[in-house]
Amino acid sequence: MKKIFFILIFNLFVCILMGQEILLKAIEDAYLWSFSQSSPRTFENSVGIVKKDEIVSAGGSGYYETTVNGIMSRNTIIFYNGTKYGIQIDKFIPINSIDMFNNLWLTTFTNRDETFWINADYLGILPLGKRDAFKNIEGVWIDSYNKRKDMDMYMLETWYEFANVQTQLDITKVTLYAGGFSMRWLWIINIIPIKNGYRVTVVDDFFESFAISIDHLWNKIQFPNDRRSYNLLLIKDKDYLDMYLDSQDKRLATFVKVDKIIVDELNNILKNNNADISKITFWPRRADGSMDYPPPGVDLSRTNDEIISDNKIADNIVSQQNVMTQDNGEKSSLPLPLLLAIIGGVVIAVGVVVVVLRKKK
């Protein structure tokens, strides 16, 4: 908790130093607490209320998590009438934004424990099943952490004990939080709908020189370090989400929506240097059926028409299984890979149902 408040207070200083005020508008009444309050927050121990449609000024980068009335909540620091307070961040929107995110785009405490947006590159680690494969993706972070550990006798954990695979793209109404082992907070000041996504104008209050000086916080996404404000294009393609800087000519990252099984197996590789990918019954696909990182055993020589046909068969079987589940009031006793094997006409690899159109270059 002390570390969180240190970062928030530091970023408060940075906001003042950089001179760009982030203004937020309340979409409903929001309770205020002393920004340094460490005891559980309740409506009863609040110190005031920001009324709906009132304007406040952001007082630091991003948010921190705490409970409000016993329920986990994202809070942030704001300035209100010249005083710093803690407040629930989901009560606000950017003051001058053209639009807001569709609710399905938002990360909540419910859906983030069920589905996770992770870097697509991580899928390539699963077939390998070896911890060292993370070095191809997070090599700079790992090297930086090891160097710092060599200099700090109190850092006892190895890099793979310290690191963790979890949600790597977190979107609220006013913030975007993205990265890999290290994450970056960005304030959102404008949201414009585009085809299959949004153009989001962000302000980066995490002072670049500070991030570089603490080099084990290195972020695998190369956000600009020559300007505080820039545009990000967020475009969904079924289970994929591509992030671009300014235009689709410069891709910053690709995320995939995965379930907890994939995240658990990635962490199993990280912590235990092994994985059981036969447990995985879902593999992310783009809208055309393709996969940037197909699972092992996929026959890439098959024609597009053959695999598109398999996609349709697989989707139909899943639909039929869902109907059976609803009719019977319980799940089918046969696992999906076995159902597909019985019907035939689909590719099965290491117990995982896989269909692929082509591998992205």
Q: Which has the closest alpha carbon to 58: 32, 82, 76, 35?
A: 76
- pLDDT score, position 303: 38
Once rounded to an integer, what is the mean pLDDT over residues 309-324?
43
pLDDT top residue among 344 and 143: 143
Q: How high is the pLDDT of residue 326?
A: 42
Taking the C-alpha atoms of residue 167 and residue 108, their distance in angstroms, rounded to an integer, is 11
Q: pLDDT per residue over 29-76, tens digit each?
A: 999 999 888 789 999 999 999 999 999 998 876 678 889 999 988 899
Average pLDDT, the chain: 78
pLDDT at 112: 65
**Is the pLDDT confidence value at 336 over 70?**
no
Q: What is the pLDDT of residue 296?
A: 72
Lowest-confidence segment of 74-78, 202-206, 287-291, 324-328 by average pLDDT: 324-328
Rounded CA gap, 113 and 134, in Å? 23
pLDDT band at 341 (very low <50, low <70, confident <90, very high): very low
For residue 272, report the phi and psi dihedrals to the nearest 5 degrees: -115, -5
Look at residue 206 in the predicted model and tell me its pLDDT.
63
Mean pLDDT along residues 341-348: 34
Helices 304-328/336-343 angle, 10° precision? 120
Q: What is the pLDDT of residues 320-332, one digit of tens each?
A: 334 333 433 434 3
For 147-192, how does the pLDDT look when each residue is reduced to its tens digit (9 = 90+)?
889 998 889 999 999 999 999 999 999 999 999 998 888 999 999 9
Cβ atoms of 189 and 173 closer than 8 Å: no
Per the CB < 8 A criterion, the answer to whether 291 and 141 are in contact is no
| pLDDT band at residue 108 under the 50/70/90 scheme | confident
**Long-range contacts: 98-104, Cβ < 8 Å, 24+?**
98/190, 98/191, 98/192, 98/193, 99/191, 99/192, 99/193, 99/198, 100/173, 100/191, 101/171, 101/173, 101/191, 101/198
**Is the Cβ–Cβ distance between 106 and 171 less than 8 Å?**
yes
Contact between 114 and 84 (Cβ < 8 Å): no
Q: What is the mean pLDDT of residues 79-103?
A: 93
> How far is residue 4 from each of residues 38, 129, 308, measured CA to CA in Å?
12, 33, 49
Each residue of 275-286: pLDDT tens digit?
A: 998 899 889 999
β-bridge mates for residue 242, sequence order: 235, 254
User: Residue 119: is its pLDDT beyond 90?
Assistant: yes
* In contact, 21 and 171? CB cutoff 8 Å: no
Residue 319: is its pLDDT beyond 70?
no
